[in-house]
Amino acid sequence: MILAERAARVEAEALAARAAAVSSGTEALIARLKLEIEKLRRELYGSRSERKARLLEQMELQLEDLEANATEDELAAEHASRATTVKSFERRRPSRKPFPEHLPRERVVIAAPESCACCGSTRLSKLGEDVTETLEVIPRQWKVIQTVREKFSCRQCEAISQPPAPFHVTPRGFAGPNLLAMVLFEKFGQHQPLNRQSERYAREGVDLSLSTLADQVGACAAVLRPLHALIEDHVLKA
């Protein structure tokens, strides 16, 4: 093993020396070509000659090839001069991140067999169970809340009595607080423009135009202005 290592080291040193010699010769050739190119450029500056221009282009291409080969030789010499150890490849079993604990779990139990599949005996005892978790989502559901206000008339004075109208966040508004909060959060929290929200709602079967959503956002901004002023005053006092 020692002799083999010495032989490998001697061979690597020889390769490095040979690469260094080739690199030094290539550097000298590159320097000579650069000098001749500069001379031809100076001659072309005074007089235009197609033959000199073609010769200059050929020399520039030869110079590019020499520089590329010199770079490859330097990299090969660097790899030959240093020993590299390759680590063995270890295949790791992929591990999936567990689902969050706060999500509700719906347990679906598959009916167990009533008899043994091998001998047909019905004397079965439970050893355990395997649980497979699948992440699922419930699509968004739209609904219309109908608030019924019954009218009553007095038979004695003929006055009409009726409960007050339900509260809305915006004056004469038709959108509920959850809908308004969703629109505002997607616009300012998720950076979702109102036109894309309108298109997505239309695909879900609810027609909310861009102007309607813009009116609702503006009304919510006006309603939340006092709250914003309180927060601003609290922050600036610090």
Give the model confidence (pLDDT) of 114-123 as tens digits. Answer: 888 888 888 8
- In which band, very low, low, confident or very high, does the pLDDT at 215 lie, cut at 50, 70 and 90? very high
Task: Report pLDDT for 220.
Answer: 93
Long-range contacts of 75-82 (CB under 8 A, 24+ apart): 76/15, 76/19, 77/15, 77/16, 77/19, 77/20, 77/23, 80/12, 80/15, 80/16, 80/19, 81/12, 81/13, 81/15, 81/16
Model confidence, pTM: 0.51
Q: Minimum mean pLDDT among 2-11, 96-105, 211-220: which range?
A: 2-11
Using the predicted structure, report yes or no on whether residue 214 has a pLDDT greater than 70.
yes
> What does the domain layout of the chain look like in residue ranges?
2-81, 170-237
| More confidently predicted of 177 and 11 | 177
Using the predicted structure, report yes or no on whether residue 27 has a pLDDT greater than 80.
no
The pLDDT tens digits for 57-91 are 777 777 777 767 666 666 666 666 565 555 666 77
Mean pLDDT score, 5-22: 77
